[in-house]
Chain A
Amino acid sequence: MSTDVVADREVALVEVLDRALGAGVVVSGEVTLSLADVDLVHLSLRLLVASVDTLIGEGGQTTDTR
């Protein structure tokens, strides 16, 4: 159960980032995050989801050897 709680929290973070960066009202069509900024946030997002994936994989095969 505790694994699920951790996973839920991390997934929730991804949900926030996905929504706040990809949806919502755009004022004057001007969203001026630089590409580097967006990449940075999406990289964090991928890392987060990957960690969730590893948690889910627990009890199954080991998925990350780093």
Chain B
Amino acid sequence: MIHAYLICEPATAAPLPKRRGLRGAKLRATTAEGLAAVYSNHRSFAASPELVLAHERVIEAVMERGPVLPLRFGTRLEHERDLVAFMGARRAELLAAIDRVRGRVEMGLRVIPRVRRGGQRDETSSGRAYLLERVEKHRLSERAKREVHLPLTRLATADVVATRVTPPAILAASYLVPADRVESFRTAAGRLAAGVAEVQSFVTGPWPPYSFVALDETSAASAASGHPG
């Protein structure tokens, strides 16, 4: 099988960065239709946080050379030919996505309540405490959205709020930001976050633009299954 890391323009992947992929595997690139994909060959392996980090580091290294479309970790393909076929079938969308992220990076915001309530451990024993906590979390989340997230969206060319947030975080959002405005984004985020004392706001990045490269899943699904829209 192969493990695929990213799709980019051919010039971005030539030469490949001098580093190894997952489990020390050699990085390879394949090109088709004015696109390139970076991958490595593997026997099957189990996922682990370390491998996810290795996936990320390869993408970051290539991202220094040009715009990249990071692939979701866990995409397993049998052969390089599958990548070539994918790039051929989705060429227009992939090229459009590359243009969308060119010169831009993803920044992240993660908001965590500052004080942990003592009732958390007893949540099953007290439905009322549980509900109160839910209400409080919702209130904090809405406030952070209004006072931190919304002003930040004005500094970004695109943004997305996560629909599922890993607890204890109550809000997570991503922003597509011009690479040369990362510092001013950080400064603004720090200032806004300081205004909401009940939460700790973490601003991270620059990341590869994971949250802004989704292709039209509907057309992909319908193309694969033969169903219209």
* Interface of chain A: mostly helix, strand, loop or mixed: helix
Q: Is the CB of A41 within 8 A of B48?
A: yes
Smallest CB-CB separation from A44: which chain B residue? B49
Q: Is the CB of B204 within 8 A of A20?
A: no
Report the contact-size class of chain A (Cβ under 8 Å from the partner).
Answer: 35 or more
Q: Is the CB of A20 within 8 A of B56?
A: yes
Interface bits A26-49 vs B (CB < 8 Å: 1, else 0)? 111111111001101110111001
Q: How far is the CB of A16 from chain B (nearest CB, A)?
A: 5
Q: Is the CB of A46 within 8 A of B167?
A: yes
- How many residues of B are counted as interface, with CB atoms below 8 angstroms from the partner's CB atoms? 55
Q: CB-CB < 8 A to B108: which residues of A?
A: 15, 19
Q: Is the CB of A25 within 8 A of B214?
A: yes
Q: Is the CB of B70 within 8 A of A25?
A: yes
Beyond A41-B47, A52-B112, whether A8 also contacts B72 by CB under 8 A is: no
Which A residues contact B (CB, under 8 angstroms)?
A: 7-8, 11-34, 37-38, 40-42, 44-46, 49-50, 52-53, 56-57, 60-61, 63
Q: Which 7 A-B pairs have the closest CB atoms?
A: A33-B74, A24-B72, A23-B210, A37-B47, A19-B210, A20-B73, A32-B76
Q: A30-B75, A50-B168, A61-B118 are in contact. List 8 more A-B contacts (CB 8 A).
A: A16-B207, A20-B73, A31-B74, A41-B49, A45-B166, A46-B167, A53-B116, A56-B112
